């Protein structure tokens, strides 16, 4: 099986069985030289219907006011949701494309880590909708995102 997305390609044919830890390791390696590496986003968990990734909150992702920039948060939301679609679709003939994203920022943060948990709201053959909750290390809600992706046949 081939896991692909705009930002990674994972050839699973060379492995008989991969556990979630091995998949996470491979996907994290694929983030090299991408926005995920720039933002230091790391995939940390795969569940039955969700994916979690984390991002450090440092001055590199701050806005001028010294708090987490909303654009960095939106990139985290899209990263978590896009990978979740790719992982759960599992059809190598399909490409995943994000088509709509919204992110509501409810609390600011200036240091530590934020965690994005993408949980599917709708998992259709063509359209997938993800709720992405971004929380801090104490599980306080920082932002709430929604991502819509489409699975389209590769050309």
Provide the sign of the torsion angle of the four alpha carbons 115, 7, 86, 81, taken in this order: positive
d(CA 155, CA 151): 12
DSSP 8-state symbol, 60 = G
Which position among 22, 42, 78, 131 bears the catalytic label?
A: 78
78 in catalytic set: yes
Helices (H), ranges, 4-55? 20-29, 35-38
How far apart CA 85 and CA 67 sit, in angstroms, is 29
Which residues carry out catalysis? 78
């Amino acid at each position: 099986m081939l896991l692909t997305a705009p930002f990674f390609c994972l050839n699973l044919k060379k492995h008989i069985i991969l556990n979630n830890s091995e998949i996470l390791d491979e996907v994290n390696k694929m983030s090299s030289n991408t926005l995920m590496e720039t933002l230091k986003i790391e995939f940390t968990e795969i569940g039955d219907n969700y994916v979690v990734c984390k991002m450090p909150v440092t001055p590199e992702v701050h806005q001028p006011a010294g708090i987490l920039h909303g654009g960095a948060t939106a990139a985290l939301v899209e990263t978590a949701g896009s990978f979740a679609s790719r992982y759960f679709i599992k059809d190598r003939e399909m490409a995943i494309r994000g088509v709509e994203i919204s992110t509501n920022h409810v609390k600011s943060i200036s240091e530590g880590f934020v965690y994005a948990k993408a949980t599917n709201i709708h998992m259709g053959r063509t359209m997938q909708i993800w709720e992405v909750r971004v929380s801090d290390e104490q599980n306080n809600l920082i932002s709430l995102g929604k991502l819509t992706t489409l699975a389209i046949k590769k050309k």
